[in-house]
Chain A
Amino acid sequence: EDKVVQSPLSLVVHEGDTVTLNCSYEVTNFRSLLWYKQEKKAPTFLFMLTSSGIEKKSGRLSSILDKKELFSILNITATQTGDSAVYLCAVEGDTGNQFYFGTGTSLTVIP
């Protein structure tokens, strides 16, 4: 059965800390891995990863994929209170029409 597992489930840090969020997957015919940020509304797209070892970067956020070990990490440096959200990992597999989501990591950044 295809699945996506995220860890930790929940995380509380102080502003300025660096955090690493993990996503491991077992999905048939992997095509891509996506990271989303969800505040109190719909998820917003962060990164799409298709190749191993190539880091995607956007400001203080970065992500990398390891297709051999079947996982990805999302790094956030110098965290701010606005980074507080649930971070979702999704893997696109099979026919290219299906996306499998993890349960998310809830990040809280306190001042």
Chain B
Amino acid sequence: SQTIHQWPATLVQPVGSPLSLECTVEGTSNPNLYWYRQAAGRGLQLLFYSVGIGQISSEVPQNLSASRPQDRQFILSSKKLLLSDSGFYLCAWSVFLGTQYFGPGTRLLVL
């Protein structure tokens, strides 16, 4: 069966510091991968999605970036965090025209 991992579970970072969140998927090949952010009391905002290694589509211009160095690995990064980057970051996977499944999420607090 397929599983999706995210780490860390919780992160507290100072403003201006770098960020790296990692997501890995097991039990499937060539999945579509997604990064979402959910601010408190708000819906899911799609940040990036990837249909293959090295292929990244950005939905919202901001100071975040994503990379997919391996088929089942998706990384969300920032060089300098802003206060507004605080939120709940969710990684998800799907296969083409299939259901989307979410990882456990990372709670990021930027102070």
Q: Which residues of A contact B (CB under 8 A)?
A: 31-32, 34, 36, 41-45, 48, 88, 90, 92, 96-104
**18 more CB-based (< 8 A) A-B contacts, given A100-B46, A102-B43:** A34-B99, A34-B100, A36-B102, A41-B104, A42-B102, A42-B105, A43-B90, A43-B102, A45-B101, A48-B99, A88-B44, A90-B100, A92-B97, A92-B100, A96-B97, A97-B96, A98-B46, A99-B100
Q: Looking at chain B, what size class is its interface with the partner chain?
A: 20 to 34
Residues of A within 8 A of B42 (CB): 103
Task: Please determine whether B104 and A32 come into contact, CB atoms closer than 8 angstroms.
Answer: no
Task: Please determine whether A41 and B105 come into contact, CB atoms closer than 8 angstroms.
Answer: yes
State which residues 52-84 of B face A: CB under 8 Å: 57
> Taking the nearest CB of chain B, how far is it from the CB of A64, in angstroms?
18
Q: Is B13 an interface residue (CB 8 A)?
A: no
Q: Is B35 an interface residue (CB 8 A)?
A: no
- Complex partner residue of A97 from B32, B36, B90, B105, CB under 8 angstroms: B32
Q: Which residues of B contact A (CB under 8 A)?
A: 32, 34, 36, 42-46, 49, 51, 57, 90, 92, 94, 96-97, 99-105
> Taking the nearest CB of chain A, how far is it from the CB of B51, in angstroms?
6
The CA-CA distance from A96 to B96 in the complex, in Å, is: 6
- CB within 8 Å for A42 and B104 given contacts A96-B96, A98-B49: yes
Residues of B within 8 A of A48 (CB): 99
Query: What are 30 A-B pairs at a CB distance below 8 A?
Result: A32-B97, A34-B99, A34-B100, A42-B103, A42-B104, A42-B105, A43-B44, A43-B90, A45-B100, A45-B101, A48-B99, A88-B43, A88-B44, A90-B100, A92-B100, A96-B97, A97-B32, A97-B51, A98-B46, A99-B34, A99-B46, A99-B92, A99-B94, A100-B46, A101-B36, A101-B44, A101-B45, A101-B46, A102-B43, A104-B43
